[in-house]
């Protein structure tokens, strides 16, 4: 299929069908209807501001007389490279010079919706996928109008005009975009937009671009929410409840208010906020609060009890998520039956920038500054709290110092906290809520704790004939405005990826959805973080039981999955699969499809005599369709490996009588430079439409490492994080 | 009131001596390039130079550095700094970027002491700087590249 021959409508249809985006969209519509709130904002009357007569051909490009091309990004830049990606698409079709391109964040407005969902949201690794045609068209339309302007100015035919690197020319005429901006603004918008053919691309698919944010992120000028200083702004630091669900019974503020710089203490029921002129005073005030909590309704379980609870559920039949053939019967006829149970802890996102947001309520209006992943949801949630029409909630999106899903909270948790503080204080000044690392680590909204029980059967020839997988865990969408995504008791994000893409004639996937007081949320690659591990480690164990090579065993079962098979083969080949390794070294492989991208990883480990080990090398093969920015694809794969490895080696949030036991980076350790393996990334050359890369690098790494360790030790690893010594 | 020497200029700040340097820089000198990540010397996001030495400003009382030369990401200007920033940009090191001021300050300090660091030297000097986006391979490559530029 040639990606460039699709019309936008065909494109969207073909892109969304397989994606989670569509599901999300359908059910979100219901939520919108119920809330009757999110009427899409009309294009603001000042859409084409008179400001210095910039040329604004559409919502995504602005060309100023000073020759700057500003790309308006509808997606949050949180490290994944989307500012660069969207700019690449527009700049290529526009034939802009990369040096003249700047990116600014879009306001919250329905014109900036994710085309896969009826809302403005960055997530599900959909940014490039949904924008691919839209941004190219935006760039091409702008170029057509610049050319049209030049044709008028020079009285020459449009067809004879050339555009190259930001310069429009014809024989002896030449003009920059900036010089033509005024005139271009008077040109009619083109009806037929002609896009480039791939051979004409100058930036797309090339490795010749510096990230648009590279400079600001190396000289200290990049602006994150944390960095905002507005006139009269106050800083809020909060004392959160010690357990989930506790509320304030009593608070003694005397010591806090005595601290220099403290302005006010505000009780918001489930937390107490101290407002001060700067962070340090607010934090000292917070630490001086004496709060008595009512914990009668709070969540009080310990992690060990939770495991027991889940194990009990695992012995009972759950809701059916997927059923093919008759697994029960096939198992009874199998020559070999294997069972295994896997345990996955809660995980914190632990973005480097702890959660924060700035809110100003003034004269009945609300303005928010935030590294915002889900503007529409936040508008609805805040609108509901304040009784303001959501479209009048103004959101200024800033760079996010990481997110990994955390800033796309379906309950808008930390934003609502800031809004409530502002609401009660009635001060009408900007209030910056700043969480400490400890606040961030203990606030919940974790990757849910999961427990899986698997059972599979091999026939006498070692053929995999049956697969049962019972998944137990909390639903991410339950009790949120996306609750409709769960149908017949199945939250798709709990089970997605179970069983992988393997050709197994009899499959049963079941789910027990638990309801616990610990808030949960998507965490980079969502359900695949655990289903990928259970599936890929179990497949490995089955391969060994079938006396087959783990790579070959997978390849046989993926014969009808060309893209999974393609990355599997590529990773194996590049890693030298099958070649001997000396000493106590081993290789492990895993392959996972997530968010319509296909990733295989081969990990190489060395086990020392004392059982400690290092992950030395990881070979990644990725098929993400057309790779818009190969350099960003590399970065996301490598970063995904590091992020996933961090969780595999030590990521774990545990509870003791409801209290989160971890608090900062000393007890929730993050992968450091000396632990980072060498990573090689191989991108499958593809003419398929582009899919996402922000998340799909994560799922295969933990199982690849576990399988590599097993190759050395002969033992299997059923619990994450992996043991320190094997 | 405390007088500090920040990036070569003298600045009067209305802070108490026990305030960590980090917050004096961020909230009072309005130099926000230096980041808060943990507040307990675990992540390195707050790294600045005091008299040329890399320190964690989140646990350094501002009173203890009065009279000393404080250099932040906004003011770091040495040849090594230039080489490091160039390498960081050319190799597209940053992802979210939040840790990178601290990474760069640590890397500059390393190269100023050790112009030809080995991988082990890099592990040691950079081990206190967390990058949640795991940009480590490029950090390593950029340090080697900067070392090469510096000759
Ligand atoms: S903020 Fe200082 S080391 Fe983390
Ligand atoms: S670039 Fe995101 S934490 Fe380092």
Tell me how far apart the alpha carbons of residues A132 and A628 are, in angstroms, rounded to a whole number.
9
- The structural domains of chain A, with segments of one domain joined by +, span 8-219, 226-296+355-434, 303-346+446-713
> If you measure from the C-alpha of residue B95 to the centroid of ligand 2, how many angstroms do you get, rounded to a whole number?
6
Residue ranges and CATH numbers for the domains of chain B are 2-71 (3.10.20.30), 79-150 (1.10.150.120)
Q: What confidence score (pLDDT) does residue A25 get?
A: 40
* CB-ligand 2 contact for A402 (6 Å cutoff): yes
Give pLDDT tens digits for A127-161: 999 999 999 999 999 999 999 999 999 999 999 99
Q: What confidence score (pLDDT) does residue A678 get?
A: 98
Average pLDDT over residues A86-110: 98
Tell me how far apart the alpha carbons of residues A251 and A699 are, in angstroms, rounded to a whole number.
45
Give pLDDT tens digits for A431-461: 999 999 999 999 999 999 999 999 999 999 9
Averaged pLDDT score across all residues of chain B: 98
Fold of A226-296+355-434: Aldehyde Oxidoreductase; domain 4 (3.30.365)
> Is the Cβ of A486 closer than 8 Å to some Cβ of chain B?
no
> Is the Cβ of B42 closer than 8 Å to some Cβ of chain A?
yes
Q: What confidence score (pLDDT) does residue A283 get?
A: 98
Fold of A8-219: Aldehyde Oxidoreductase; domain 4 (3.30.365)
The answer to whether the Cβ–Cβ distance between B96 and A672 falls below 8 Å is no
Averaged pLDDT score across all residues of chain A: 93
Tell me how far apart the alpha carbons of residues B121 and A526 are, in angstroms, rounded to a whole number.
36
To 10 degrees, what angle do helices A82-94 and A127-154 make? 30
* CB-ligand 2 contact for B37 (6 Å cutoff): no
Give pLDDT tens digits for A668-715: 999 999 999 999 999 999 999 999 999 999 999 999 999 999 999 999
> If you measure from the C-alpha of residue A114 to the centroid of ligand 1, how many angstroms do you get, rounded to a whole number?
36
Tell me how far apart the alpha carbons of residues A63 and A61 are, in angstroms, rounded to a whole number.
7
Question: A109, A120 in Cβ contact below 8 A?
Answer: yes
Smallest-distance ligand from the CA of B103: 2
Q: In angstroms, what CA-CA distances link A84 with A77, A90, A179, A196, B97?
A: 9, 10, 25, 19, 14
Average pLDDT over residues A206-221: 96
Q: What confidence score (pLDDT) does residue B93 get?
A: 98
* CB-ligand 1 contact for B24 (6 Å cutoff): no
Q: Is residue A22 scored above 60 in pLDDT?
A: no
Which of B16, B72, B97 is nearest residue A222 as measured by Cβ atoms?
B97
CATH 3.30.365.10 fits A303-346+446-713, yes or no: yes
> If you measure from the C-alpha of residue A675 to the centroid of ligand 2, how many angstroms do you get, rounded to a whole number?
16
SS3 content of chain B, % helix, strand, coil (to 5): 40, 15, 40
Tell me how far apart the alpha carbons of residues A89 and A140 are, in angstroms, rounded to a whole number.
10
Among B residues 48-107, those touching chain A with beta carbons less than 8 Å apart: 72-74, 85, 88-90, 92-101, 104
**Which ligand 1 atom is at minimum distance from the Cα of B59?**
2
The answer to whether the Cβ–Cβ distance between B132 and A670 falls below 8 Å is yes
| Predicted complex ipTM | 0.98
**What band does A183 get if pLDDT is binned at 50, 70 and 90?**
very high
Q: What confidence score (pLDDT) does residue A54 get?
A: 87
Q: Is residue A587 scored above 70 in pLDDT?
A: yes
- The C-alpha angle with vertex A602 and arms to A127 and A535, in degrees rounded to 5, equals 75
* CB-ligand 1 contact for B43 (6 Å cutoff): yes
Query: Which is nearest to A612 in space by CA: A721, A537, A722?
Result: A722
Q: Do the first three CATH levels of A8-219 and A226-296+355-434 match, i.e. the same topology? A: yes
> If you measure from the C-alpha of residue B38 to the centroid of ligand 1, how many angstroms do you get, rounded to a whole number?
5
Average pLDDT over residues A314-324: 97
Given phi > 0 = left and psi -120 to 50 = alpha, else beta, which region is A22?
Answer: alpha
Question: A75, A127 in Cβ contact below 8 A?
Answer: yes
Average pLDDT over residues A492-501: 98
Give pLDDT tens digits for A227-249: 999 999 999 999 999 999 999 99
The answer to whether the Cβ–Cβ distance between A217 and B94 falls below 8 Å is yes
The answer to whether the Cβ–Cβ distance between B96 and A216 falls below 8 Å is no
Query: Which is nearest to A593 in space by CA: A573, A623, A618?
Result: A623
Average pLDDT over residues A556-564: 98
Q: What confidence score (pLDDT) does residue A89 get?
A: 98
Q: Is residue A169 scored above 80 in pLDDT?
A: yes
Nearest chain A residue to B95 by CA: give it: A79
């Amino acid at each position: 299929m040639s990606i460039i021959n699709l019309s936008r409508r065909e494109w969207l249809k073909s892109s969304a069908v397989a994606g989670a985006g569509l599901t999300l969209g359908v059910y979100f519509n219901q939520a919108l209807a119920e809330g009757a709130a999110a009427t899409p904002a009309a294009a603001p009357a000042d859409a084409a501001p008179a400001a210095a007569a910039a040329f604004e051909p559409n919502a995504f490009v602005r060309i100023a007389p000073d020759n700057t091309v500003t790309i308006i990004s509808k997606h949050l830049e949180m490290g994944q490279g989307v500012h660069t990606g969207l700019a690449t698409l527009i700049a290529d079709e526009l034939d802009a010079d990369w040096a003249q391109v700047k990116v600014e964040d879009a306001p919250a407005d329905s014109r900036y919706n994710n085309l896969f969902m009826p809302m403005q949201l960055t997530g599900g690794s959909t940014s490039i996928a949904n924008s691919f045609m839209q941004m190219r068209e935006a760039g091409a339309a702008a170029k057509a109008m610049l050319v049209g302007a030049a044709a008028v100015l020079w009285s020459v035919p449009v067809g004879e005009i050339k555009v190259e690197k930001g310069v429009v020319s014809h024989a002896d005429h030449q003009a920059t975009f900036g010089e033509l901006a005024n005139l271009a603004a008077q040109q009619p918008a083109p009806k037929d937009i002609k896009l480039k053919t791939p051979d004409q691309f100058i930036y797309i698919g090339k490795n010749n671009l510096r990230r648009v944010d590279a400079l600001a992120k190396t000289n200290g000028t990049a602006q994150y929410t944390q960095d905002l200083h507005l006139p009269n702004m106050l800083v809020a630091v909060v004392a959160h409840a010690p357990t989930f669900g506790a509320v304030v019974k009593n608070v003694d503020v005397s010591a806090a208010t005595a601290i220099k710089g403290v302005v006010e203490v505000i009780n918001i029921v489930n937390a107490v906020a101290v407002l001060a002129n700067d962070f340090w005073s607010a934090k000292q005030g917070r630490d001086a609060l004496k709060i008595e909590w009512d914990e009668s309704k709070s969540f009080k379980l310990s992690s060990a009890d939770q495991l027991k609870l889940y194990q009990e559920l695992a012995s009972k039949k759950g809701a059916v998520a997927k059923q093919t053939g008759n697994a029960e019967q096939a198992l009874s006829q199998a020559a070999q039956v294997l069972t295994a149970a896997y345990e996955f802890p809660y995980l914190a996102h632990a973005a480097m920038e702890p959660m924060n947001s700035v809110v100003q309520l003034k004269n009945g209006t609300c303005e928010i500054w935030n590294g915002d992943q889900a503007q529409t949801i936040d508008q609805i949630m805040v609108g509901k709290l304040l009784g303001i029409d959501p479209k009048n909630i103004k959101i200024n999106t800033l760079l996010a110092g990481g997110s990994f899903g955390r800033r796309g909270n379906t309950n808008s948790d930390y934003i609502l906290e800031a809004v409530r503080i502002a609401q009660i204080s009635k001060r009408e000044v900007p209030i910056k809520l700043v969480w400490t690392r400890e606040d961030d680590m203990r606030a919940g909204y974790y990757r849910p704790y999961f427990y899986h029980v698997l059972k599979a059967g091999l026939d006498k020839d070692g053929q995999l004939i049956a697969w049962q997988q019972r998944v137990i865990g909390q639903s991410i969408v339950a009790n949120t405005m996306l609750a409709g995504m769960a149908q017949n008791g199945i939250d798709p994000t709990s089970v997605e990826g179970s069983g992988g893409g393997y050709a197994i004639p009899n499959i049963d996937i079941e789910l027990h959805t638990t309801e616990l007081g610990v808030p949960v949320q998507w965490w980079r690659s969502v359900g695949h973080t655990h289903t990928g591990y259970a599936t890929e480690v179990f497949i490995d164990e089955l391969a060994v039981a079938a006396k087959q090579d783990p790579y070959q065993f997978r390849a046989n079962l993926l014969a009808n999955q060309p893209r999974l098979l393609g990355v599997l083969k590529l990773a194996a080949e590049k890693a030298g699969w099958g070649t001997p390794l000396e000493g106590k070294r081993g290789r492990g492989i895993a392959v996972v499809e997530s968010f319509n991208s296909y990733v295989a990883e081969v990990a190489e480990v060395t086990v020392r005599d004392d059982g400690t080990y290092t992950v030395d090398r990881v070979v990644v093969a990725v098929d993400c369709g057309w790779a818009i920015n190969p350099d960003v694809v590399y970065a996301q794969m490598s970063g995904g490996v590091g992020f996933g490895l961090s969780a595999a080696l030590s990521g774990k949030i545990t509870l003791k009588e409801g209290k989160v036991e971890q608090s900062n980076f000393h007890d929730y350790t993050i992968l450091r430079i000396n632990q980072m393996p060498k990573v090689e990334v191989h991108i499958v050359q593809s003419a398929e439409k582009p899919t996402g890369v922000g998340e799909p690098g994560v799922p295969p790494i933990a199982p690849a490492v576990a399988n590599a360790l097993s190759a050395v030790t002969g033992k299997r690893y059923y619990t994450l994080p992996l043991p320190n010594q094997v | 009131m405390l007088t500090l020497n920040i990036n070569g200029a003298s600045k009067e700040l209305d802070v108490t001596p026990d305030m960590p340097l980090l917050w004096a820089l961020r909230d009072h000198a309005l130099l926000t390039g230096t980041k808060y990540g943990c507040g307990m010397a675990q992540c390195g996001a707050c790294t600045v130079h005091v008299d040329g030495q890399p320190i964690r400003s989140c646990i350094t009382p501002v009173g203890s550095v009065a009279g000393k030369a404080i250099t932040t990401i906004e003011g770091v200007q040495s040849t090594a700094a230039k080489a490091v920033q160039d390498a960081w940009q050319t190799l597209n090191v940053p992802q979210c970027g939040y840790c990178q001021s601290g990474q760069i300050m640590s890397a500059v300090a390393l190269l100023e002491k050790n112009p030809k660091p080995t991988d082990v030297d890099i592990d040691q000097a950079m081990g206190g700087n967390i990058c949640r986006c795991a940009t480590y391979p490029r950090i390593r490559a950029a340090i080697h590249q900067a070392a090469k530029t510096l000759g």
